[in-house]
């Protein structure tokens, strides 16, 4: 039975569990060819290259603080948003 009287739709929920030092969330807006999201974890910001980020965006994402966002400079304007979710590379050193 389809319920259409809900105010919101919960499309996904969960808890990210990774030991990687860096974690980014990448959201594709409606300005991209499809809407979607992906989470990328790694030990260096180069992990963003695995999902198609260009070198300039990887460098900008590396300088961001946790909770900061970045519109990627490629494809269509405001089509891809990168959110830095974790950066523990320098904790305890």
Using 50, 70 and 90 to split pLDDT, how confident is the model at 10?
Answer: confident
Indicate the pTM of the whole model: 0.85
CB 82 within 8 A of CB 25: yes
pLDDT of 62 strictly over 90: yes
Tell me: the pLDDT tens digits for 29-54? 999 989 999 999 999 999 999 998 99
- Domain residue ranges of the chain, discontinuous segments joined by +: 22-87
CB 49 within 8 A of CB 58: yes
Using 50, 70 and 90 to split pLDDT, how confident is the model at 93?
Answer: low
Could you tell me the two tokens for 35? 């809407």
Coil, strand or helix: which one is 62?
helix
């Amino acid at each position: 039975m389809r319920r259409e009287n809900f105010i919101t739709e919960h499309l996904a929920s969960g808890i990210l569990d990774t030991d990687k030092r860096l974690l980014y969330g990448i959201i594709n807006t409606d300005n991209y060819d499809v809407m979607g999201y992906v989470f990328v974890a790694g030990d260096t910001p180069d992990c963003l290259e695995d999902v198609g980020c260009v070198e300039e965006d990887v460098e900008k994402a590396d300088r961001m603080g946790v909770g900061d966002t970045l519109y990627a400079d490629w494809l269509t304007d405001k089509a891809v948003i990168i959110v830095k979710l974790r950066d523990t590379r320098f904790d305890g050193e």
